[in-house]
Amino acid sequence: MAKRQVPEINAGTMADIAFLLLIFFLVTTTMDVDTGITRMLPPPVQKNENIKVKERNVLKVLVNSHDMLMVNGKRMDINELKNKVVDFMTVHPNNPNYPEVEEKMIKELGKKMLVSKGIVSLKNDRGTSYKMYISVQDALAAAFNEMRNQTSRNLFGMDYHLLVNKQKIKAVNKIIPIRISEAEPENIEAK
């Protein structure tokens, strides 16, 4: 009896198919990229240069090692921080309880606008938890985003994040600059 031969499988096309599948997965797969906290650092200061900021222009935010939040020396819940920052940074002309304002020419709009001179000063303890630190950063970012959205709606009838015109974006950024000063962490005792 004669043995039947089994036909061989052509392996050349298998390599082609595997290569095509690899290319397909490389092209269709997306990679998440962590961006971190976006902050623009201030320009370097000369050592002999004294920068004087009036006390009324500074909102002092302190976080101690027990994750207790203090704003201008008073205890505050993290849920209240955003509204406090919005209130502080909103323009209140001729009110000594709020930051000074300056009239600034916004060339993108072709007119002068009142801009707050307020600064949020953030200082945390070395023992502050990462969760609390991020919660404070989120509240500060939310406050400035809310103010920019409101300004954009008043001027252009749409939220800030929907603006595509670079001139309009620059105008809102000049009217509502993000002024957050973050100091070097140190040991802050609970009061």
CA atoms of 103 and 116, how far apart (whole Å): 9
CA distance 102 to 95: 13
What's residue 48's pLDDT? 59
What 3-state DSSP class applies to 48? Answer: coil
Q: Residue 169 belongs to what domain range? A: 55-182
- The backbone torsions φ and ψ at residue 74, rounded to the nearest 5 degrees and listed phi first, read -120, 140
Residue 95 lies in a domain: yes
Mind listing the pLDDT tens digit of every residue in the chain (191 residues)?
677 787 777 777 888 888 999 999 888 888 777 666 666 555 666 665 566 678 889 999 999 989 999 999 899 999 999 999 999 999 988 899 999 999 999 898 889 999 999 999 999 888 889 999 999 999 999 999 999 999 999 999 999 999 889 999 999 999 999 988 887 776 655 44
Residues 6+ apart with CB under 8 A from 182: 39, 122, 123
Residue 78 lies in a domain: yes
Tell me the whole-structure pTM to 2 decimals: 0.72
Evaluate whether residue 73 is within a structural domain: yes
**Residue at 139 is within a domain:** yes
Structure tokens belonging to residue 16: 């082609």
Could you give the number of structural domains in the chain?
1
